[in-house]
Amino acid sequence: MFFHVNATMPRQKSGIEHAELKRFKLLNGHGVDSRVILRDWDPNVHYNANDAGISDDQLINMFDYFQEATHVSAKKLHVGDLDFGVLHTKNEWEAGHNRYLVTTRSGQLVARVNVDATDDQRVVSTELFDGFNNLYRVDQYDRRGFVSLSQWYTPDNKIGTETWQTPSGRTVIESFNRANAVGETNKSGWRLTDKQGKVWQFDSIELLTLHFFDCLNDDFWSDDEPNIFVLDRGHLGDWGLLHLKRPAYVVMHLHNSHAGDAQDPMHSVLNNHYEFSMNALDEYDAVVSATHKQTQDVIARFHPKTELFTIPVGVVPNSQLQAPRVPVKDRTFGKVVAFARIAWEKHLDDLVRAVGIVHQTVPEVSLDLYGYADSSDNYKARRAVEAAIKDYHLEDVVSMKGYTTDVGKVEDSAMMYGLTSRMEGFNLAIMEAISHGLISFTYDVNYGPNEIVEDGVNGNVVPYENVQALADAMLKVLQDPDLAQRYSTGAYESAERYSDANVWAAWQRLIADAQHKWPTKLAALPNHQEVQD
């Protein structure tokens, strides 16, 4: 079995989720049995995963797994469907809060029922009150229509215990919150009651996660071939997957720079997301990076003995490679696009500045930014973009469009793609851009953009953080139609590197390595012994 391990599957996905989905679909298309493994509790996980093309049969969420809720017939609950155990209640709608107040005839508050006003007032959660108007419990509803998580409040209005139930209401997971010496509330432990009624105690969610991984490894165990775990977010299992009770083939996937300063990969401190993994490289069976440059930098700095594979995280489908090419003359002249979170690491304010410089010479230029704004530091990155727009008087030139899934339509009409990131792990967006014939411009940033964009072939790679050089490269293309068409043609042709066949061949090499090593791993397991509790 091939496991793709992540936290959750949000509606607004980051590059890691997009990369994981592309790999999942690639393996599915080549007959590899695989499962998407999600660790974090999320009441919308099945809805979002199904919407992303993952069926319930190929989705295993840790909480669902223990809650016996991997397959549940969905139903939509409304306030009238709820029973609070109190006779003759009435429901009063609070429009400004998207909730109902449930009260007795005498006006005693029984509950607040929070609903999704965009989804036929579907029940999202209930807040329950005692006879003294104290909040004592909040029930969180799975989108499929059952109470999944109950949060029990202490007299000082803090969450003391959390319990997760099966759809039938049987508690199977409990977590306990306790205040430390300085008054900070932290989880002090987890308790699991499994299907057989056995009770397990865990000091941390990491230990519960390890137990989950062990269960998966047992459920899909085969003497003929190993289970392959590909870890897409290190914090979920970088330690746990190295401590399985029985062997598996464990892969650490680098989705970003392993170094804190991507421009100094040999000397800077490690990216904190990969610090544990980079110091335990040889304990993994394989490490995957998306670019040849990162693979070589990892080798040069860490001299690992483990197998290293370079596998692009993106796949350009054959339908796109074979699609009619849109000539530059049929595109919106001067239209620059970028698909990225408005976040510090994306440095989109620099792209705005470059467009501002270009606009002084070519007033037809325009920039559309697609992506949601990162809320960190009170939306600092978005505020930087807005400030750059104001500085260059680009209010009618630059548009923040928000998140979209209609990428192809946008890219078939635009002319150029801009990328000004401080660090990357690959950048799916610019790979997709060249597959649609967009002329691409990027800083010389590690890792990905400076390989995907081939300077002088499908666009230009300019010195890191050199806004003027970026603007000059754009101006050169806008002032030379023949050069623009040559770059666009080069973009279409360079996308072949990321074809289904080429990326699948790279994954085949990793799968072959796992199968080659399996007899040795199996032999190290004494008498194929059963897992001991």
The pLDDT of residue 15 is 85
| Residue 58: CB atoms within 10 Å | 15
Neighbours of 187 (CB within 10 A): 13
Residue 514: which of 153, 230, 181 has the closest Cα?
230
Which residue matches tokens 């304010």? 349
State the Cα torsion 348-352-355-360 to the nearest 10°: -160
Global pTM reads: 0.89
Strand extents, DSSP E, 108-253: 109-116, 122-129, 135-142, 146-153, 159-165, 171-179, 185-193, 199-202, 228-231, 249-253
User: 127 near 138, Cβ under 8 Å?
Assistant: yes
- Structural domains in the chain, CATH included, are 2-73+207-310 (3.40.50.2000), 79-205 (3.90.930), 318-497 (3.40.50.2000)
CA gap 19, 232 in Å, rounded? 9
Give me the half-sphere count of Cα atoms (radius 13 Å) on the Cβ side of residue 221.
16
Question: Which residue type occupies 128?
Answer: L
pLDDT score at 463? 97
> What distance in Å separates the CA atoms of residue 229 and residue 251, rounded to the nearest whole number?
6
Structure tokens of 489? 């043609």
Burial class (CB in 10 A: 0-12, 13-18, 19+), 427: buried
Q: What is the pLDDT of residue 183?
A: 78
Cβ atoms of 204 and 187 within 8 Å: the answer is yes
Residues contacting residue 128 through CB under 8 Å, at least 6 positions apart: 84, 110, 111, 135, 136, 137, 138, 139
Give CA–CA dist 67/164, Å, rounded: 7
Phi, psi of 228 (to 5 degrees): -110, 120
**CA-CA distance, 302 to 299, in Å (whole number)?**
6
> Residues 38, 41, 44, 47: is their CA dihedral positive or negative?
positive
Within 10 A of 293 (CB to CB), how many other CB atoms are there?
Answer: 16
Distance CA 374, CA 12 (A): 11
3-state secondary structure of 318: helix
CA neighbor of 390 nearest in space, from 419, 349, 422, 358: 349
Q: What is the pLDDT along the chain (533 residues), one digit of tens a residue?
A: 999 999 999 998 888 999 999 999 999 999 999 999 999 999 999 999 999 999 999 999 999 999 999 999 999 999 999 999 999 999 999 988 999 999 999 999 999 999 999 999 999 999 999 999 999 999 999 999 999 999 999 998 999 999 999 999 999 999 999 888 887 888 999 999 999 999 999 999 999 999 999 999 999 999 999 999 999 999 999 999 999 999 999 999 999 999 999 999 999 999 999 999 999 999 999 999 999 999 999 999 999 999 999 999 999 999 999 999 999 999 999 999 999 999 999 999 999 999 999 999 999 999 999 998 999 999 999 999 999 999 999 999 999 998 887 889 999 999 999 999 998 989 999 999 999 999 999 999 999 999 999 999 999 999 999 999 999 999 999 999 999 999 999 999 999 999 999 999 999 999 999 999 999 999 888 765 444 44
